[in-house]
């Protein structure tokens, strides 16, 4: 992973000192709330319903064990002993004291972590596939390109005050695990007929109040032009994006208003001034970025580890089920990718305690070359585990409550913090998630349903990405009461789609029954081996609506 040089560290340390002074002046009354607002937002600090919330950047979801231990210690010393994994692969502290945040940032800086640009109207953390570098379906490792974008976008003076927040995602695989069509800019690493690496660029996607699937603006961009082309898009947006209405300020609205052809022409016109300029990527610079993502010292195995794994899985069905549900084939023989579910029944989705974080740091050191990854599905990943160590790892995870075998199934739901924490939320989302987990605790039934994405948001800001869940739930306010709207048919994959609203909203206590009717309709209508989304796309929304509102 990327390691800061002396200049990176100096910038970060000076930023912490700067923010410490700003906080002290605010608390002393010499900075107004209005003056302090943009300063704290650009340092990742929100004022939530009950306490400030500090969002820490995890560039493309990659951390080392030392960073994880620091997060664990800070959650214990400055918070309530747990943190939340966000859908941008970041980490959120929900209960810090305002006055103590500068000290937390200073501690984070010691392990090369920060909260810069995790909020505010700037370019946010670039996200990618949690299996980057180890996935079998990978065409190009996206991490060096994410790092290049990170370095370019961090503290970029021209894009510090955009019309609205701006999100970029990158993928380099056959399966899109980064939801590139739901971002302001989505980048897919591709190869042309000559085998040259380049980028397919998608623009104008986004969720929130007006969900839009992004559209292709460039089918193949040569690799040296990545930054100049991104800069051209950002310039057009910065110049023409609306600033008079924050609900109309995202780039998706501008692209819709202009039309993709006119928007593309504007970008191309701007690009003329930037192309082949100082931001042109040289081969040497790309190789420099790649040098931070070299292969770890993989052991060489014959087929023995896989044979041992199969034997253990046969001998212990619970272990075998966990291997089947929570591990993924690795591109290197003798290794597996391990998903660690943070969706155990009875716990808030995406939350993890300080003790569990420290345990995972130890396990990362012992089994996975000291690295761990966060996912936009709010789970964690050990990417490089030898197959012959899986049984030992599973036993340890099981004792720690981290071996829930539900990755990709109904109870592995994405859920924002909602009204329990967020000042923007219209309704609580965690109690709905917990009620659904409790209702569907029969894992045989959950497995029989097949892969299914359930996404829950507490408001139109859509931090739970409800629009692109196969089943999406949105908390709404109706005359001061919390209700929940359901949409069906969303997808974050390469065949991305926005879910359709089922009908009038429901009370919180009705949601498990509503889910039961939706899932029952699917089971009744599905063909053999047909997954939920395929059935929905074949039969449409009508039979679900008829059953739920009968």
Exposed/middle/buried for residue 503 (C-beta within 10 Å: 0-12, 13-18, 19+):
middle
- Partners of residue 188 on adjacent β-strands: 171, 200
> Do residues 105 and 142 share a domain?
no
Q: Which residue bears the tokens 């047909």?
A: 530
Domain presence at residue 392: yes
Q: List Cβ neighbours of 292 (8 Å cut-off, separation of 6 or more).
A: 1, 2, 3, 144, 147
**Domain with 53 in it: what CATH number?**
3.90.480.20
3-state secondary structure of 524: helix
Domain presence at residue 157: yes
Q: What is the DSSP letter of 403?
A: -
Give pLDDT, residue 529: 86
> Do residues 65 and 167 share a domain?
no
The residue among 492, 527, 464 whose CA lies nearest residue 214 is: 492
Total tally of structural domains belonging to the chain: 4
Regions of the chain short of the pLDDT cut 70 = 49, 303
> Do residues 190 and 243 share a domain?
yes
> Do residues 428 and 395 share a domain?
no
> Do residues 311 and 278 share a domain?
no
User: Which phi and psi angles does 346 have, rounded to 5°?
Assistant: 95, 0
> Do residues 170 and 282 share a domain?
yes
First CA to last CA distance, the chain: 54
Last residue of one domain, picked from the residues 291, 317, 350: 291
Give pLDDT, residue 470: 98
Domain presence at residue 123: no
Bin 243: left if φ > 0, else alpha if -120 < ψ < 50, else beta: alpha
**pTM (2 d.p.):** 0.95
User: Which phi and psi angles does 169 have, rounded to 5°?
Assistant: -130, 150
Domain presence at residue 90: yes
> Do residues 368 and 339 share a domain?
yes
Whole-number Å distance between alpha carbons of 150 and 170: 12
> Do residues 286 and 140 share a domain?
yes
> Do residues 241 and 375 share a domain?
no
Residue spans of alpha helices (H) in 3-63: 6-28, 33-41
Last residue of one domain, picked from the residues 357, 373, 400: 400
The range of the structural domain enclosing residue 238 comes to: 134-291
Whole-number Å distance between alpha carbons of 77 and 352: 15
Give pLDDT, residue 425: 79
Domain presence at residue 389: yes
Last residue of one domain, picked from the residues 400, 428, 447: 400
For residues 37, 43, 46, 50, the Cα torsion angle rounded to the nearest 10 degrees is -110
> Do residues 231 and 321 share a domain?
no
Domain presence at residue 139: yes
Can you read off the two tokens belonging to residue 140? 């190009």
> Do residues 254 and 210 share a domain?
yes
Give pLDDT, residue 461: 86
Domain presence at residue 103: yes
Domain presence at residue 506: yes
Give pLDDT, residue 51: 79
> Do residues 363 and 443 share a domain?
no
The residue among 487, 463, 462 whose CA lies nearest residue 473 is: 487
**Domain with 138 in it: what CATH number?**
3.30.413.10
């Amino acid at each position: 992973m990327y390691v800061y040089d002396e200049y990176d560290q100096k910038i970060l340390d000076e930023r912490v000192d700067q923010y410490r002074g700003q906080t002290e002046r605010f608390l002393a009354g010499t900075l107004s709330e209005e003056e302090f607002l943009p300063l704290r937002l650009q340092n990742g600090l929100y004022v939530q319903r009950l306490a400030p919330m500090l969002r820490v950047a995890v560039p493309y979801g990659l951390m080392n064990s030392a960073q994880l231990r620091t997060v664990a210690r800070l959650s214990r010393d400055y918070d309530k002993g747990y943190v939340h994994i966000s859908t941008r692969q970041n980490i959120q502290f929900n209960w810090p004291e305002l006055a103590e945040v500068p000290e937390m940032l200073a501690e984070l800086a010691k392990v090369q972590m920060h909260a810069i640009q995790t909020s505010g109207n700037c370019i946010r953390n670039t996200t990618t596939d949690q299996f980057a570098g180890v996935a079998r379906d990978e065409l190009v490792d996206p991490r060096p390109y994410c790092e290049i974008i990170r370095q370019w976008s961090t503290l970029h003076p021209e894009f510090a005050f955009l019309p609205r927040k701006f999100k970029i995602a990158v993928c380099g695989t056959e399966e899109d695990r980064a939801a590139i069509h739901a971002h302001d800019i989505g980048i897919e690493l591709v190869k042309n007929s000559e085998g040259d690496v380049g980028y397919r660029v998608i623009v104008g996607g986004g969720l929130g109040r007006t969900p839009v699937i992004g559209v292709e603006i460039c089918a193949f961009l040569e690799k040296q032009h990545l930054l100049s082309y991104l800069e051209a898009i950002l310039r057009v947006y910065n110049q023409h994006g609306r600033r008079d209405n924050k609900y109309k300020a995202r780039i998706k609205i501008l692209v819709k208003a202009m039309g993709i052809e006119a928007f593309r022409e504007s970008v191309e016109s701007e690009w003329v001034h930037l192309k082949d300029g100082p931001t042109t990527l040289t081969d040497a610079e790309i190789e420099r970025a790649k040098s931070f993502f070299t292969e770890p010292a993989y052991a060489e195995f014959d087929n023995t580890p896989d044979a041992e794994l199969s034997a253990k899985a046969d001998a212990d069905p619970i272990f075998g089920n966990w291997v089947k549900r929570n591990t993924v084939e690795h591109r290197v023989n003798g290794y597996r990718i391990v998903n660690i579910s943070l969706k155990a029944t009875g716990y808030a989705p995406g939350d993890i305690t300080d003790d569990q974080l420290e345990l995972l740091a130890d396990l990362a050191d012992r089994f996975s070359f000291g690295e761990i990854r966060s996912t936009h599905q709010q789970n964690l990943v050990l990417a490089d585990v030898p197959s012959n160590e899986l049984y030992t790892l599973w036993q340890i995870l099981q004792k720690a409550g981290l071996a829930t075998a539900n990755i990709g199934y109904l109870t592995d739901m994405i859920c924002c913090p909602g009204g329990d924490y967020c000042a923007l939320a219209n309704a609580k989302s965690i109690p709905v998630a917990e009620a659904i987990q409790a209702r569907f605790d029969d894992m045989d039934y959950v497995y029989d349903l097949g892969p299914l994405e359930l996404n829950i948001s507490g408001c139109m800001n859509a931090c739970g990405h409800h629009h692109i869940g196969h089943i999406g739930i949105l908390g709404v306010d109706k005359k001061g009461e919390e209700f929940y709207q359901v949409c069906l048919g969303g997808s974050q994959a390469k065949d991305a789609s926005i879910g359709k609203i089922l009908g009038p909203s429901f009370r919180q206590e009705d949601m498990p029954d509503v889910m039961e009717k939706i899932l029952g309709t699917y089971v009744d209508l599905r063909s053999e081996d047909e997954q939920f989304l395929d059935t929905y796309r074949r039969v449409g929304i009508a039979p679900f609506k008829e059953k739920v509102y009968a």
